A and B are shown apart, each in its own frame.
Chain A
Amino acid sequence: MSPPLLEVTGLSRSVQVGGFLSRSRRTLLNGVSFTLERGEILALVGESGSGKSTLARVLARLDAPDGGSLRLGGEDMLAAEKQGASLGYRGRVQMVFQDPFASLNPVHTVGYHLERPLLRHGRATRADLQARVHALLESVGLTPAESFARRFPHELSGGQRQRVAVARALAVEPDVIIADEPTSMLDVSTRREVLQLLRGLTKARGIGILFITHDLASARHLADRVMVLYAGSVVESGRTAEVLSAPRHPYTRLLRSAVPEGADFLRAPLPVKASTGPVPPNGCAFAPRCPHADARCHATRPPEHVSAADHLVRCHLEASKGVVDDAAVSS
């Protein structure tokens, strides 16, 4: 069996907090592991501060991790390229940023944004550059391409800008695209077209997409698998339908019950406690808020428990008692 397209094991990153003499560090990522296959969309879900964007920046090699490995098609990229990402890596892993108003340089035309990666990675020659730029614009549905290529970012709507950003990522013909909340800054009526564009790409070109979002509904709409991040750890992952229809980790249930839907959305109480203290250094990060937490949760970090095929849960309760009874999520 061939190795997975992208395989991440034990990735961690922490930053120094306080002044330059301070020794204390804050953990942003705590041993994150996952795999991404060709043509697959993996949704990464979590609230702000959970480490979603840190993970995206580490995978895009904008920041370096403290430990762990990152294998692309079986090759350990972090060990092979200690001095930062090579051009080869950049040609295989691309990123689409959250804010299309910030990720395009206001002084350059749309055409320039697409020409640069094409030339830098030798995906086009000077002779066929224009044709390639136009083909890219057409592939993301920006027609007439000649007219769009000449425009500046401020002459485009938010949805059009995000399409340009997707086209720029496609220009190098990557294997992996990291999409960091690509629709959260867009109006609702343009969100869907960007999501459909991403899904079309995975099907047509076999690109693997890590789709980062705080919105469970988008994840459900788009992703094949879902991975839930809390305080830098993956607390649950598995097939989208399984994780979202029958969440097993208390945090996933909390997220699930907070999605505004239905008339009695506000009447159902949230399955959460008011935080009862600091995060235990060795225990489960969710323990202070978890309605089911016991002494064990505060003392040791729960191991990964594989409950069904490919459905992974990091919870003590899961490992011992099986399914926790939780009436609040039955709806």
Chain B
Amino acid sequence: MLDSIRRLLRHRKAAVGGSILLFFLVLALVGPWLVMDPSDLVGRPHQPPSSAHLFGTTGQGQDVLAQTVVGARETLAVGFAVGLLVTLVGALIGVTAGYLGRRVDDALSLTTNVFLVIPGLPLAIVLGAYLPSGPLRMVAVLTVAGWAWNARVFRAEALSLRNRDFVAAALVTGESRARIIARELLPNMASLLGSSFIGNTLYAVGAQVGLEFLGLGDVGSVTWGTNLYWASNDAALLTRSWWIFVPTGVCIALVGFSLTLLSSAIDELTNPALKAPPAVAPITPVVTAAQAEPQAPGVLLSVRELCIDYATERGPSRVVDNVSFDIAPGEVFGLAGESGSGKSTIGFGLLRLLPPAARISQGRILFNGTDVTALDANALRAFRWSQVSMVFQSAMSALNPVLTLGEQFHDTLAAHGRASRTASYARARELLAMVGLSPELVNAWPHQLSGGMRQRVGIALALALEPKLVVMDEPTTALDVVVQKELLQRMLELKERLGFAVLFITHDLPLLLAISHRVGVLQGGKLVEVDTSERLRAGARHPYTRLLLSSFPHLSADDAAEPPPELALAANAPAPVRTALRGGHQ
């Protein structure tokens, strides 16, 4: 909590917005004692600014400065009170409805919806006619008119949090419902509560000024809204007395501005994705003799001394460290490693599909004689997919949910200058049949397919332009074992027929050893061992490869025993090897 407030203060938007708001808060608190009585008729009406009346006088001869300063107090007090009440009522009703669900949700949601369809302004007019006059009436009117939208927002948030495992875990622990709402759900909504409060205050100030300007407030009190009401009543515009309404207008605009800045600052701080990535210092790559060497014949892809850095707030962090390997045409090359080992980063790097914060800081990627690292944007577009394509881990997010499969094939083919829609659809049918799906699925949408079928579509898409290399990033991790085996068998069959090479990336070393010709093992961004599958299976040399192999329990009879003693020790030893294992995360 303290930490997040400290971060808020360091944020520029928050600092500017906060200072403006603080100025008005102080003004509202102490200002009224410093200026004259705003209701006193102190001078002649419609006087422009002068030394006696710095902001001039109103149409009735009151001091505009005094009216502006005094008006701040009630306007802001009502604004913050309504902001707080609307947030609390909305959060309480929304979270209760969202968490308890069923009947309670039905009843509360119905009430909320009824309030949402009642237009706010007429409701305020009707309520205003019945309630006794005064600032409390304004608070009541605005709260009743404004809570419903908030309840919707908080209900949605509670619905998404309710299904999180930590809520189920708290239930299993035996916690009561009230405590789950108060201690498990609400603290997770702190940022939503904060930004809602600010947004609601903004709404309250605007709505209050609007109602009062229309004369629906208490015209006897001094607020920014009544100032504008009297300015309009006294024909300020007709008499060109701009000084009567401009100070109040500027104050309202500034308060609105500061609240908007604060709300946007909270958004940015709680959602790091909105933040611009830290600036990356340009690095001059060092070209060594090994990198400059021309590609040997019979090698499809050479990765040479590749380094990839991520820009972080604490400077660049090396994710891929001096990695070199070759892939021959038609070969299945496996990359194994744990999370954070850099295996997926290498895969994305080959297609130059790295996120903006990552960059290739050293090394070269040679593909069939072309230097991929040196391609410009146009050449890169032509290179991707026609030479090297990719199958992603999550097929659902790799396919566009609002396009039929045929359209997605057409998009891919058309982007590379192929063919009409009819020709694309014909090719799509052919490709779908090739991966063992019915060609009729060309008119299906992604949500109509099972996970295994989607991943087959992903493979068909990757093969659409007959690339020479397909990068597969954990293509079967989300699938059941039976579906996984069917998919892999189909993939290898196609490889035999079409002759493409595969870079297969996964954490599952036993699987890699079963399907690859050669396997590279990554640890903390470094390639620690590269060898053929047979040799790795017979006896891996690097201790980390041995540890990975022994970590997978086996199904066959003889190796279900405990791991060899030195590895068992290594797995449990607290210091050196454990640190080495986690190297990838640093």
Q: Is the CB of A102 within 8 A of B510?
A: no
Q: Is the CB of A188 within 8 A of B551?
A: yes
A121-B174, A258-B484 known; A187+B166 contact, CB < 8 A: no
Q: Does A256 contact B (CB under 8 A)?
A: yes
Q: Does B398 contact A (CB under 8 A)?
A: no
Q: Does B309 contact A (CB under 8 A)?
A: no
Taking CB atoms and an 8 Å cut-off, the chain A residues in 114-163 that contact chain B are 116-117, 120-121, 157
Residue of A nearest to B169 (CB): A103
Q: Is the CB of A120 within 8 A of B173?
A: yes
Main SS of chain B's interface residues?
A: helix
Taking CB atoms and an 8 Å cut-off, the chain A residues in 76-120 that contact chain B are 87, 90-91, 94-95, 97-99, 102-108, 116-117, 120
Chain B residues lying within 8 Å of A47, measured Cβ to Cβ, are: 480-483
Q: Does B511 contact A (CB under 8 A)?
A: yes
Contact of A261 among B172, B482, B510, B581 (CB under 8 A): B510
Q: Is the CB of B338 within 8 A of A188?
A: yes
Q: Is the CB of B184 within 8 A of A157?
A: no
Q: Does B132 contact A (CB under 8 A)?
A: no
A262-B514, A263-B534, A266-B489 known; A107+B188 contact, CB < 8 A: yes
Taking CB atoms and an 8 Å cut-off, the chain A residues in 233-265 that contact chain B are 244-245, 254-263, 265
Q: Does A13 contact B (CB under 8 A)?
A: no
Chain B residues lying within 8 Å of A217, measured Cβ to Cβ, are: 552-555
A99 to B167, alpha carbons, bound, how many Å?
A: 13
Chain A residues lying within 8 Å of B560, measured Cβ to Cβ, are: 220-221
Q: Is the CB of A157 within 8 A of B172?
A: no
Q: Is the CB of A193 within 8 A of B572?
A: yes
Q: Is the CB of B174 within 8 A of A107?
A: no
Q: Report the minimal beta-carbon distance from B189 to chain A, rounded to whole angstroms.
A: 10
Q: Does A320 contact B (CB under 8 A)?
A: no
Q: Is the CB of B485 within 8 A of A260?
A: yes
Chain A residues lying within 8 Å of B552, measured Cβ to Cβ, are: 188, 217
Contact of B173 among A90, A191, A272 (CB under 8 A): A90
A106-B188, A217-B554, A220-B555 known; A97+B481 contact, CB < 8 A: no
Q: Is the CB of A116 within 8 A of B165?
A: no
Q: Is the CB of A214 within 8 A of B480?
A: yes
Q: Does A48 contact B (CB under 8 A)?
A: yes
Q: Report the minimal beta-carbon distance from A142 to chain B, rounded to whole angstroms.
A: 11
Q: Report the minimal beta-carbon distance from B143 to chain A, rounded to whole angstroms.
A: 28
Q: Does A298 contact B (CB under 8 A)?
A: no
A19 to B294, alpha carbons, bound, how many Å?
A: 64
Contact of B571 among A107, A192, A215 (CB under 8 A): A192
Q: Report the minimal beta-carbon distance from B279 to chain A, rounded to whole angstroms.
A: 26
Q: Is the CB of B174 within 8 A of A117?
A: yes
Q: Bin the interface of chain B by size.
A: 35 or more
Q: Does B164 contact A (CB under 8 A)?
A: yes
A303 to B555, alpha carbons, bound, how many Å?
A: 29
Q: Is the CB of A117 within 8 A of B173?
A: yes
Q: Report the minimal beta-carbon distance from B501 to chain A, rounded to whole angstroms.
A: 17
Q: Is the CB of B553 within 8 A of A218?
A: yes
Contact with A along B164-190 (1 / 0, CB 8 A): 111011111111000000011001101
Chain A residues lying within 8 Å of B480, measured Cβ to Cβ, are: 47-48, 214
Q: Does B509 contact A (CB under 8 A)?
A: yes
Residue of B nearest to A174 (CB): B172
Q: Does A189 contact B (CB under 8 A)?
A: yes
A270 to B487, alpha carbons, bound, how many Å?
A: 11
Chain B residues lying within 8 Å of A218, measured Cβ to Cβ, are: 553
Taking CB atoms and an 8 Å cut-off, the chain B residues in 514-550 that contact chain A are 514-515, 533-534, 537, 547-548
Q: Does B313 contact A (CB under 8 A)?
A: no
A218-B553, A260-B514 known; A270+B173 contact, CB < 8 A: no
A255-B481, A266-B489 known; A187+B169 contact, CB < 8 A: no
Q: Is the CB of A258 within 8 A of B553?
A: no
Q: Does B508 contact A (CB under 8 A)?
A: yes
Q: Report the minimal beta-carbon distance from B428 to chain A, rounded to whole angstroms.
A: 22
Q: Is the CB of B486 within 8 A of A189?
A: no
Q: Is the CB of A254 within 8 A of B482?
A: yes
With a 10 A CB-CB cut-off, give which of B485, B508, B509, B556 has the most chain A CB atoms.
B485
Chain B residues lying within 8 Å of A106, measured Cβ to Cβ, are: 188
Contact of B510 among A120, A187, A260 (CB under 8 A): A260
Taking CB atoms and an 8 Å cut-off, the chain A residues in 218-233 that contact chain B are 218, 220-222
Chain A residues lying within 8 Å of B581, measured Cβ to Cβ, are: 189
Chain A residues lying within 8 Å of B485, measured Cβ to Cβ, are: 257-258, 260, 265-266, 270
Q: Is the CB of B509 within 8 A of A261?
A: no
Q: Report the minimal beta-carbon distance from A213 to chain B, rounded to whole angstroms.
A: 10
Chain B residues lying within 8 Å of A94, measured Cβ to Cβ, are: 172
Contact of B507 among A60, A165, A188 (CB under 8 A): A188
Taking CB atoms and an 8 Å cut-off, the chain B residues in 570-586 that contact chain A are 571-572, 581-582, 585
A87 to B556, alpha carbons, bound, how many Å?
A: 43
Chain A residues lying within 8 Å of B507, measured Cβ to Cβ, are: 187-188
Q: Does A172 contact B (CB under 8 A)?
A: yes
Taking CB atoms and an 8 Å cut-off, the chain A residues in 270-284 that contact chain B are 270, 272
Residue of A nearest to B336 (CB): A188
Residue of B nearest to A289 (CB): B482
Chain A residues lying within 8 Å of B170, measured Cβ to Cβ, are: 105, 116
Q: Is the CB of A263 within 8 A of B514?
A: yes
Q: Report the minimal beta-carbon distance from A261 to chain B, rounded to whole angstroms.
A: 6
Q: Does B339 contact A (CB under 8 A)?
A: yes
Residue of B nearest to A90 (CB): B174
Residue of A nearest to B585 (CB): A157
Q: Does B488 contact A (CB under 8 A)?
A: yes
Q: Does B92 contact A (CB under 8 A)?
A: no
Q: Is the CB of B168 within 8 A of A245?
A: no
Q: Does B25 contact A (CB under 8 A)?
A: no
Taking CB atoms and an 8 Å cut-off, the chain B residues in 197-236 that contact chain A are none
Q: Does B492 contact A (CB under 8 A)?
A: yes
With a 10 A CB-CB cut-off, give which of A121, A222, A254, A263 has the most chain B CB atoms.
A263
Q: Report the minimal beta-carbon distance from B231 to chain A, rounded to whole angstroms.
A: 48
Chain A residues lying within 8 Å of B557, measured Cβ to Cβ, are: 245
Q: Is the CB of B547 within 8 A of A189?
A: yes
Chain B residues lying within 8 Å of A57, measured Cβ to Cβ, are: 168
A48 to B476, alpha carbons, bound, how many Å?
A: 14
Chain A residues lying within 8 Å of B187, measured Cβ to Cβ, are: 105, 107-108
Contact of B514 among A103, A187, A256, A266 (CB under 8 A): A266
Contact of A105 among B188, B551, B554, B572 (CB under 8 A): B188
Taking CB atoms and an 8 Å cut-off, the chain B residues in 440-490 that contact chain A are 480-486, 488-489
A217-B554, A261-B555 known; A266+B488 contact, CB < 8 A: yes
A106-B188, A266-B488 known; A95+B572 contact, CB < 8 A: no
A165-B169, A216-B555 known; A266+B548 contact, CB < 8 A: no
Q: Report the minimal beta-carbon distance from A79 to chain B, rounded to whole angstroms.
A: 21
Q: Is the CB of A192 within 8 A of B551?
A: yes
Q: Does A168 contact B (CB under 8 A)?
A: yes
Contact of A272 among B166, B482, B488, B533 (CB under 8 A): B482
A48 to B480, alpha carbons, bound, how many Å?
A: 7
> Beyond A95-B172, A220-B553, A265-B515: 11 further Cβ-contacts under 8 Å?
A62-B171, A97-B165, A121-B174, A188-B548, A188-B551, A189-B547, A214-B481, A215-B553, A260-B484, A260-B508, A263-B514
* 13 examples of A-B residue contacts, CB within 8 angstroms: A60-B168, A90-B174, A97-B168, A98-B165, A105-B166, A188-B508, A188-B548, A188-B551, A192-B553, A214-B481, A215-B553, A244-B555, A258-B485
List 4 tightest A-B contacts by C-beta distance, closest first: A221-B553, A90-B174, A47-B480, A103-B165
